[in-house]
Each structure stands twice: as structure tokens, then as C-alpha cells.
Amino acid sequence: MRTEIDLSLTMADLSMIKRMIPHRYPFLYIDKVMNLEKDKGGIGIKNVTCNEPFFQGHFPNQPIMPGVLVIEAMAQTAAVVVNHSLDMIDENLGIYLLAVDNARFRKMVVPGDVLELHMTVVRGRGKYWKLDGK
């Protein structure tokens, strides 16, 4: 079933995100997406707490969010941006991460941080999109 998204939507809260991507706890790494602009991008927000399951082993005495999970959060934000751009909700489009180019981690992400994931559309059509993330 396809349901159209209100194009005036500029923020996706957690309930809207769950209608746009299949990820669920403990593998849902965004809390909301702000500044959504069709075919332009959006900013994913993750409030990182000390209760994140991955902190139990990474690392017990110095908890750091694994870089691969930061990339996953970016991919989830990108999926919301693409669904919004395609004006789709409640339909599993099957959006998959195909490549990561030039990933660099400039700062550790630790409990208490608010992770901002700035995703910008470079180009996109149908199921194939390229986004830039910071």
C-alpha cells in the first residue's frame, strides 16, 4: 500500500521514521530527521545515551560509538531523505547502502553527545541515489 507524504513535512519524528525505514531497536540509530527538503537532504539526529547496547563491549571503561554505527546512522538518515524525496511512506522500497567513499572520523562519539548527520542529495532517481554526508 502506498501512502503519499505531505510535502510540507520538514521533520520526521520517530513514529514517521518507523513508517519510512524497516529498522527497529536495537538497530535504529536515528531519533528524528530535521530540515527535510525534497531532493536536497536533511539532518538526522541521534541522542547518544549511556544505555546504548553497543557501549557494553565498545569499550566498557571508555565507551565510544563504533564508527561503523555512525555510518549506519547516516545510511538510515539517507533512507528517510530518499523516501521523502520520492513522496513515499508505508512501503518498503528496499533502500540499501551500496558504497561509502572517503569516510573519516574526526571526533569520538560518546554518551551524552548529540550526533548530527547532515545528508545532502548529490543525485538520485528511482532506487539509485548518491548522498554526501557529514
Res 1: pLDDT:
47
CB 88 within 8 A of CB 5: yes
Distance from C-alpha of 69 to C-alpha of 63, rounded to nearest angstrom: 13
> Which listed residue (23, 58, 84, 118) is catalytic?
58
pLDDT in tens, 69-116: 999 999 999 999 999 999 888 877 788 899 999 999 999 999 999 999
pLDDT in tens, 118-133: 999 999 988 789 999 9
Contacts 24+ apart (CB under 8 A), 4-8: 4/87, 4/88, 4/89, 5/83, 5/84, 5/87, 5/88, 5/89, 7/38, 7/87
Res 3: pLDDT:
55
Q: Which three cell numbers stand for residue 55?
A: 557501549
Note if 58 is an active site residue.
Answer: yes
Res 7: pLDDT:
53
The residue among 106, 47, 42, 117 whose CA lies nearest residue 80 is: 42
The full set of domains in the chain, from first to last, is: 14-133 (3.10.129.10)
Q: 23: burial class by Cβ within 10 Å (0-12, 13-18, 19+)?
A: middle
Q: Which three cell numbers stand for residue 50?
A: 549511556
For the whole model, what pTM was predicted? Answer: 0.91
pLDDT in tens, 15-67: 999 999 999 999 999 999 999 999 999 999 999 999 999 999 999 899 999 99
Q: How confident is the model at residue 8 (pLDDT cuts 50, 70, 90)?
A: low
In Å, how far from its chain's centre is CA 116? 10
